[in-house]
Amino acid sequence: MTIVYGFEFETAVEPFAVYRLFNSLGICVAMASQSQLTSLSGYRAFFIICFIITMVSQSIMAFVFTFKNKTNKPKDQSINEEASKTETLINERKKELEMSI
């Protein structure tokens, strides 16, 4: 299950097609509005408005939505477990070598 823009999709192709569609339309609208700017002050106002929209939307995403972690174990814990398994195997091999000598 893939989720893009809050919608769930069963296939892996559809969400990226929807993402590309909205991304391309957004760029087209932004470029069309930029082409209407004729002065430096107009461009600065446009840039400031875009910056404010970006900061507000990033803040909403970071502080309002909770993200679920799909893994059962934290990455560090699984790495530590692998390291301890490897260390145990090394110690067993050392004991075997000492006994054979």
* Percent residues over pLDDT 90 in the chain: 7
What pLDDT is stored for residue 5 in this prediction? 61
Could you tell me if 15 and 21 are in contact, meaning their C-beta atoms sit under 8 angstroms apart? no
pTM over 0.85: no
Average pLDDT over residues 17-21: 82
pLDDT band of residue 56 (cuts 50, 70, 90) is very high
The whole-number pLDDT of residue 15 equals 75
Spatial CB neighbours of 19, under 8 Å, sequence gap ≥ 6: 4, 5
Q: How far is CA 98 from the centre of its chain?
A: 50
**Is 33 within 8 Å of 43 (Cβ atoms)?**
no
pLDDT at 78: 64
Phi-psi region of 73 (alpha: psi -120 to 50; beta: other; left: phi over 0): beta
- Cα–Cα distance, 93 to 85 (Å, whole number): 12
- Give the per-residue pLDDT at 52: 94
Q: What are the pLDDT digits (tens) for 32-43?
A: 888 888 888 888
* DSSP-derived 3-state class of residue 11: coil
